[in-house]
Amino acid sequence: MLANMDEARAALARVFGFPAFRGVQEQVVARVLAGQSTLAVMPTGAGKSLTYQLPATMLDGTCIVVSPLIALMHDQLRGATANGIAAATLTSVDADRGQTIERFLRGELDLLYVAPERASQPHFRDLLSQGRVGLFAIDEAHCVSEWGHDFRPDYRLLRPLMDAFPDVPRLALTATADRHTRADILAQLGIPDDGLIVAGFDRPNIRYAIRGRDNPLRQLKQVLAENPGPGIVYAPTRAQVERLADQLAGEGRTVLPYHAGLAPEVRAGNQAAFVASEDMVMVATVAFGMGIDKPDVRFVAHAALPKSIEGYYQETGRAGRDGDPSVAIMLWGPDDFVRARARLGEVEEHRRASERARLDALAGLVETAECRRAVLLRHFGENPPTQCGNCDNCLNAPGVTDATELARKLLSA
């Protein structure tokens, strides 16, 4: 296993061009290479992909990657191929499926990306048994849990598939899973409890602020004025995205919309413009962001309450991946909660309790007078200090304000 890790470090430099593992990557890769099934909970931007892509280049057999979105798979495919990894996707939009199957059967593929719907079909199991599988990687693994914020029933069918290959290790990956969801993922995917690895969730360079929404347009214009770098404004509906994108434009920066209702080429064009830009603002629904790798996003603003703390963390986590100071500002109003509570009535009975708990947790974050970061991190099972000094509540706490006020008076005296 130690020899393996030397080899892994060499591959890290050779294949990816990285000098070192980041955080828990090394631990995760070591487990995978030792054939131990693992659930890795690592924040967005922590480098989850590498934890299966690197072993995939070293293992005998192909790493089967289950991923929930075709767009995500194609992003990953581009990245892996650019690093010289033999990878392919097997989705409804791939015309070369026959060729991909041939390559898999000949043992030429390091990575094969599939959607859960395909992975759970009997003929996919037959295909796998005719080739050689080295690892199952389940990306966005919270989709397997009803406690997670994005339940996908087909993820439940992965267990029988993987059980048919008992010698193949499993690596489940997610950015956002509270205690319940983690336990559920382990159980649903058949990963032992001691296979859990959790990376720290704190993003110290992000300054959190949550404000009542009184005049959203004026408030958002102020956010844009105070934050010149690239930024994302999340709005809950397509109509609001369109309207806000119009209203926020014309102040000397490019402001573009992004939502699932736009034509694919418009979406792709707006996304490419954003990734290339140094000052653009993207007004978007939550359809925007997953899998987008732009390190210098300076602010993320929510025009309304997000769906859950997990969603809030994931969306705000797109700010400041380069580690430089960044801000996350959420605007909320009581009507957001009225709407969210109304939606609870439409949720299936057996999910209602977990949805209600999710909403209550969000209300706790919004209404707290305590440190936002502490509330956020405690939600993810961490035990943070009571004051972070870099959120609105810490910065506006009486002691802090007095000190700044005093300093200002002293300096101007």
Residue 46 touches which member of ligand ADP, Mg ion, none, C-beta under 5-8 Å by kind: ligand ADP
Q: Which residues contact 335 (CB under 8 A, 6 or more apart)?
A: none
Would you say 293 or 335 has its CB closer to ligand ADP? 293
Q: Report in angstroms how near the CB of residue 280 gets to ligand ADP at its nearest.
A: 19
- Residue 7 to residue 120: CA distance in whole angstroms: 33
Among residues 63, 51, 60, which one has the least CA distance to residue 27? 51
Would you say 91 or 354 has its CB closer to Mg ion? 91
End-to-end Cα separation, the chain, in angstroms: 65
Residue 340 touches which member of Mg ion, ligand ADP, none, C-beta under 5-8 Å by kind: none
Q: Report in angstroms how near the CB of residue 115 gets to ligand ADP at its nearest.
A: 17
Residue with the CB atom nearest ligand ADP in the bound state: 47
DSSP-derived secondary structure letter, 391:
B
- Residue 248 to residue 243: CA distance in whole angstroms: 9
- Residue 104 to residue 317: CA distance in whole angstroms: 36
Would you say 272 or 406 has its CB closer to ligand ADP? 272
Q: Report in angstroms how near the CB of residue 20 gets to ligand ADP at its nearest.
A: 6
Q: Report in angstroms how near the CB of residue 376 gets to ligand ADP at its nearest.
A: 18
- Residue 6 to residue 272: CA distance in whole angstroms: 37
Which residues bind to ligand ADP, rule: CB under 6 A?
Answer: 18, 21-22, 25, 42, 44-50, 293
Residue 322 touches which member of Mg ion, ligand ADP, none, C-beta under 5-8 Å by kind: none
Would you say 48 or 321 has its CB closer to Mg ion? 48
- Residue 328 to residue 300: CA distance in whole angstroms: 5
- Residue 245 to residue 86: CA distance in whole angstroms: 40
Q: Which residues contact 162 (CB under 8 A, 6 or more apart)?
A: 136, 168, 170, 189, 190
Interface map 37-66 toward Mg ion (x if CB under 5 A):
-----------x------------------
Positions that interact with Mg ion (CB under 5 A):
48
